[in-house]
Structure 1
């Protein structure tokens, strides 16, 4: 009897655990007057969204049914490694996919005419995104004025069509194996003719292709060649382009690595490289000059992107440069102190400040910040809290040993 009761309790506990769900987003719907239908969205908000008032760039993800889960995971992984900023993801669920993602075409083969009877609604869909979807997101979420459009296959076709017709509707286009076998008068024109009314273009266009063949492969290379030539001949345009064939991937598997690489391309200028010659940093007033350079760099980027770009990683690298140079321990404390003041929610900033104080021989201050970092990291549930515990334990053991030696 006792065994049966114990078994029931165990099963009950495991059953309760199994029913816990991991939620990565929410579903919203609203009515579109332009499309004359209700549209559903899958919305992902970064973890920090509920803690503050800052704004976030928005990634508009087409074909959300297929792409939402892996896109969220990719973004979270890249953010964790400080390669891209946090962002809101708006996944657009399809109703009539072929209708929305294809422009009008007068040159399709009979096969494709029969296969795609409900085609040619791309202009209406672009109007929906510009006049209804983006305003809806901006009204309901803290959206920064920086937007990325992601499209795969027919979604990539829509990406390309949008870039040709309204290049400044989005700040960046992440275009995955676009279905450029699909014929359209606008897509067939030369770029200088298409973009003659868009001399203020300020976009980034990233494109991939999988192990495709035939006219689709040829037209992707043709578009890539057009863009590369146009950029080289029109250097006054602030247009950045990268074409990355991934022939080891299939048309279906290409989505995840494209988003992973594409987002890093879009935000590659967020990195700040310290000068290779460190002597300038260690010269008189070198630390102050570097601090000012880093602050100016990220302030400029924040103005250009329209949301705050963190300088925490760059300040950490600067602090490490000083902490590893004998005689510059106090400078390291200064840099890490500034970093902690500017990023009070970062347990890593406090941990580094504790390390700097320890290196400078100020054990009490080191302990204070190690303890603060440990408390903060435990509150997040981060499994690497043990490293922060070890820092504190090592400090206490070192102080105890020194005390015994002096006695």
Structure 2
């Protein structure tokens, strides 16, 4: 009976999660006399964190705003889920928000959309209607990303030029630059870098259509000559992906953008050889200034412990892991990592005791996978 009830609860939770993750929101616009519909996709852990114990910090999430159509949306969601499901993944777990289509004069075809004729109105709608609504109704971090593909990517570049403070990260995949009538290239040539561009990032890639090659090359040159290293915290990338199929552009580009734009979350561990955990903590305090929220440094601390093992600084390695476990005493994972450090340090007896504590936690949590894993590790130490 207990198992049946558990299955029913899991099924109900899955249904609720599915409904919440696919919910359309209707927003009464303050900018124009109409309503806008936005779709909100929540990460898998969103509902789980709502069930945290009273007094615990409830997780808040960065937001990825997208101009994606329904046809691509399922792929984007799957990619983001995969690219953020562990701490060392290239992206953060994020709320995905599908931005509404904002038009200046009724429906527009792709040529009108790519020309930038409705960009100013769209920026105002995003700034005054959509973003405040999402921040009010969902647990968001003050870190916003926006992405778009093809004609929609033109608008990403336009927002970066007109209102850079609106988003922290801009990703323009295979923009239809040849269709632009707003003078994107010229506007980048004339761009004056203000503090609004500090701690902003722009990723641009070239698709396979030849007509976009020339304006892309001009932008790539501008990125490298006028923008590179000119303002602290401003990061720009222009990558040529024209060798790939046009439809592969946003798929490959999203991975490439994540790995490049957020690489500083995974620093080279050698730089902390002398400064140790204090150095790691200082480094991640600086990242907080860039991202606006605290970045989890656990993986870097674990890497530091293994780095100390490689240097045969076993006491330092164990101290790093012990400090982590002190902050999260119920972590099964950290028990296994500490035991591994102890084993590599030649302290098999300590490693065995640590694994036994982890095994008890795994049994209490009914984590059968962890129980099996830890039992095998204990057996190796006999």
Change (3 A) 1:386 1:61: farther
2:232 and 2:161 map into 1 onto residues whose CA distance is 15
Aligned mate of 1:342, from 327, 337, 340:
327
The alignment partner of 2:270 has SS state of: coil
Aligned mate of 1:297, from 278, 283, 301:
283
Q: Tell me which moved more, 314-323 or 87-96.
A: 87-96
| Alignment match, 1:4 | none
Cα contact 1:63–1:91 (8 A) shared by 2: no
| Alignment match, 1:355 | 340
Aligned mate of 2:309, from 323, 328, 341:
323
| Alignment match, 1:74 | 79
| Alignment match, 2:267 | 272
Change (3 A) 1:239 1:55: same
| Alignment match, 1:218 | 214
| Alignment match, 1:63 | 68
What displacement does 1:78 show?
Answer: 2.7
* Per-residue deviation, residues 280-302 of structure 1 (Å, max 9, x unmatched): 94xxxx4xx31110111112212
2:360 and 2:192 map into 1 onto residues whose CA distance is 54
The alignment partner of 1:60 has SS state of: strand
| Alignment match, 2:41 | 43
1:206 and 1:44 map into 2 onto residues whose CA distance is 24
| Alignment match, 2:377 | 391
What displacement does 1:213 show?
Answer: 0.8
Cα contact 2:91–2:258 (8 A) shared by 1: no
| Alignment match, 2:201 | 204
* Per-residue deviation, residues 326-363 of structure 1 (Å, max 9, x unmatched): 4x433322111112233456432221122234442325
Alignment pair present for 1:371 and 2:368:
no
Q: Tell me which moved more, 299-308 or 34-43.
A: 34-43
2:107 and 2:252 map into 1 onto residues whose CA distance is 22
Alignment pair present for 1:180 and 2:177:
yes
Change (3 A) 1:29 1:93: same
What displacement does 1:275 show?
Answer: 1.8
Q: Which runs of 5+ in 1 are unaligned?
A: 1-16, 104-110, 399-407
Count residues with an aligned counterpart: 354
| Alignment match, 1:307 | 293
Cα contact 1:377–1:385 (8 A) shared by 2: no
| Alignment match, 1:161 | 158
The alignment partner of 2:136 has SS state of: helix
Q: CA RMSD in A?
A: 3.4
Higher Rg of the two aligned structures: 1
| Alignment match, 1:127 | 124
